[in-house]
């Protein structure tokens, strides 16, 4: 059995604010990414390759809040966070606060595979990237007018529902099980609109936004990062399975529906276990998501 799930962020998604054209672009982006990741698995590729492929496409797509199309910090910059974990080896890599790497997930993967470290930040991460032959893009590559307008609304003190809610949505992630029995997870984000510079969220933190362990499951999270760090969401789900005897659905629902809401932790997760069971759960109005298992068609969703 093999399969995978991807997400493109979660949060308050007022249906009225979503034009038919915007919805079409989100769905097309999810379809493209799930197809590409799934093709890797169909060809016998590893779960690490599949999640990397899917996340790279979502990073390149300006509708999502990761790499191109990332949200802006309060001082008008794009600071990108990403992480990846291989459930077969428990190796992991992460970067945070990078500003010139086109696909931060590929740099996170290089940290995992080519360095003795797990997490590199800012200029140190970019210096490592240059030693690994990465090419750089100018920071303006990540800019989109839509994200800039969201920053201006927040700077202008617009407390309107859409300004505060839809403005961070679009973090991306993927989880996969390959034909060899290996699990992997990856997450990439621009963070939250109007974040202070050098604020780091949950997405690059192993155990919070991303975790994978063949003995339990692979998880990628999206939502209010501060709360997801405090509740160590991804590792908590894996631990409930490994030490608490929960099945994947119970473990995910306990964390997303019981632990997060009392703390204001709006968001959701995608998860897959070693048998290919996929669980997608969110406590928000919506979550951009897609999944596909061996022998089945892809499923794509936005609203509950």
The residues binding ligand ASP (CB under 6 A) are 9, 168-169, 171, 189, 191-192, 201-203, 222-223, 225, 228
Nearest in space to 187 (alpha carbons), one of 212, 209, 216: 209
- Which of residues 169 and 218 has its CB atom nearest to ligand ASP in the complex? 169
Please identify the residue of the shown chain whose CB is closest to the bound ligand ASP. 225
- Alpha-carbon span 27 to 38, nearest angstrom: 16
Q: Return the active site residues.
A: 171
- Alpha-carbon span 85 to 302, nearest angstrom: 26
Nearest in space to 216 (alpha carbons), one of 131, 273, 140: 273
On the 0-12 / 13-18 / 19+ scale of CB atoms within 10 A, 19 is exposed
- Alpha-carbon span 151 to 218, nearest angstrom: 33
- Alpha-carbon span 74 to 57, nearest angstrom: 26
* Phi-psi region at 157: left, alpha or beta (left = phi > 0; alpha = psi -120 to 50): left
Across the strands, what pairs with 195? 73
- Alpha-carbon span 238 to 217, nearest angstrom: 6
Nearest in space to 122 (alpha carbons), one of 102, 138, 142, 101: 101
Supply the DSSP symbol for 255.
I
Token readout for 203 is: 């997405």
Supply the DSSP symbol for 70.
P
The total of other beta-carbon atoms located within 10 Å of residue 164's CB is 17
Q: Are 283 and 269 in contact (CB under 8 A)?
A: no
């Amino acid at each position: 059995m093999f399969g995978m799930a991807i997400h493109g962020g979660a949060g308050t998604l007022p249906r009225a604010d979503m034009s038919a054209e915007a919805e079409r672009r989100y769905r097309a982006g999810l379809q493209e990414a799930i197809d590409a990741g799934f093709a890797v698995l169909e060809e016998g590729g590893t779960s690490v390759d599949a999640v990397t492929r899917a996340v790279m496409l979502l990073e390149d797509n300006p509708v999502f809040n990761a790499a191109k199309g990332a949200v802006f910090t309060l001082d008008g910059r794009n600071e990108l966070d990403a992480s990846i974990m291989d459930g077969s080896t428990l190796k992991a890599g992460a970067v945070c606060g990078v500003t010139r790497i086109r696909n931060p997930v590929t740099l996170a993967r290089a940290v995992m595979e080519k360095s003795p470290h797990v997490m590199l930040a800012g200029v140190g991460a970019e210096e490592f990237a240059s030693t690994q032959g990465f090419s750089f893009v100018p920071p303006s590559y990540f800019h989109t007018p839509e994200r800039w307008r969201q920053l201006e609304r927040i700077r202008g003190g617009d407390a309107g529902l859409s300004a505060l809610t839809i403005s961070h949505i679009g973090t991306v992630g993927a989880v996969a099980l390959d034909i060899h029995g290996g699990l992997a997870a990856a997450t990439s984000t621009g963070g939250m609109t109007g974040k202070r510079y050098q604020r780091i969220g949950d997405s690059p933190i192993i155990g919070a936004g991303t975790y994978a362990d063949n003995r339990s499951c692979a998880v990628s999270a999206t939502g209010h990062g501060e709360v997801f760090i405090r509740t160590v969401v991804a590792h908590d789900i894996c631990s409930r399975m490994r030490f608490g005897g929960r099945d994947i659905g119970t473990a995910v629902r306990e964390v997303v529906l019981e632990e997060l809401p009392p703390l204001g932790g709006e968001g959701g997760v995608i998860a897959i276990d070693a048998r290919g069971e996929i669980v997608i759960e969110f406590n928000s109005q919506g979550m951009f998501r897609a999944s596909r298992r061996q022998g089945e068609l892809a499923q794509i969703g936005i609203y509950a």
